[in-house]
Amino acid sequence: MRVKVAAIQMAVGEDETDNIAKALRQVTSAADAGAQIILLQELFSTPYFCKDQNPDFLTLAQPRESHPALLAMQKLAREREVVLPVSFFERANNAFFNSLVVFDADGSDLGLYRKAHIPDGPGYQEKFYFSPGDTGFRVFDSRYGRLGIAICWDQWFPEAARVMALQGAEILFYPTAIGSEPQAPEINSRGHWTRVMQGHAAANLVPVVAANRVGREIGQESEITFYGGSFISDATGALIVHAEQEETILYADLDLQALAAQRLEWGLFRDRRPELYAPILTLDGSPRHE
């Protein structure tokens, strides 16, 4: 089966309603171009509020059942027959998560993923807002293929990519919000960020789609210039298409049947030795403490 994927790269403003409307226009444009799976960036309906520790921002979280971004995108997925992974700030009773729901091409809800790895540093103070995800890494069976989807900081961890590949992911998707480092403006991590995910593709022989935001966002304590760099790689990690810092939509056509044959030929999963990997289950690399 052949599938056309898209990654949307855009800037967001202060008004949530306007941001959702803009995202709807971008998804519609991608659908008009023939895209069947369309990836938006992380937390696209609001500015990236994690620049600051401000409890007022917790009011941005809403339950899965009533979040306006989810309701709008579910409707559009059904109308345009596209698959949409949708990132949102989730409130679940007294818990808060950085979450994502996948809508299939008929608008059905394929399930929830909660971000597993939560960063904490200047400008990216996510531990103040989000509990660590409790869903485990998930793969979603959609009309257009089996999708592995994780969120931003998850993309730095090869373990997450491997688990999704082992679960049968045919494409890996990473919605993202990353840019400058407020405490170290001389650092530009974009190349590093890209190469890490290219490695996930190459190590698992699975294409990767990454969607980042762009624009300068000013907080109370710091500001971030999001560097874009969204891309789609092939299953060897080579970039098919990539963006700079402009608002844009990226596209790629993927042959899932040919990619599946390629994975079988290489034997990457046949030759794994999971009985030797126990140290990876520990924080310090020791299989046990003596």
Q: Of 127, 101, 119, nearest to 155 (Cα)?
A: 119
Catalytic residue among 42, 90, 126, 217: 42
Q: Which residues contact 116 (CB under 8 A, 6 or more apart)?
A: 132, 133, 136, 137, 150, 154, 160
Q: Active site includes 223?
A: no
- pLDDT value, residue 229: 98
- pLDDT value, residue 287: 77
Q: Active site includes 127?
A: no
Catalytic residue among 50, 90, 115, 217: 115
* C-alpha distance from residue 126 to each of 115, 119, 207 (Å): 11, 6, 28
- pLDDT value, residue 54: 96
HSE value, Cβ hemisphere, 13 Å, CA-based, for 269 = 17
Q: Active site includes 50?
A: no
pLDDT tens digits for the chain (290 residues)? 999 999 999 999 999 999 999 999 999 999 999 999 999 999 999 999 999 999 999 999 999 999 999 999 999 999 999 999 999 999 999 999 999 999 999 999 999 999 999 999 999 999 999 999 999 999 999 999 999 999 999 999 999 999 999 999 999 999 999 999 999 999 999 999 999 999 999 999 999 999 999 999 999 989 999 999 999 999 999 999 999 999 999 999 999 999 999 999 999 999 999 999 999 999 999 876 55
Catalytic residue among 50, 152, 170, 217: 152
Q: Is 247 exposed, middle or buried (0-12, 13-18, 19+ CB in 10 A)?
A: middle
β-bridge partners, 258:
none
At which residue do the structure tokens 């082992």 appear? Answer: 166
Q: What does DSSP assign to residue 1?
A: -
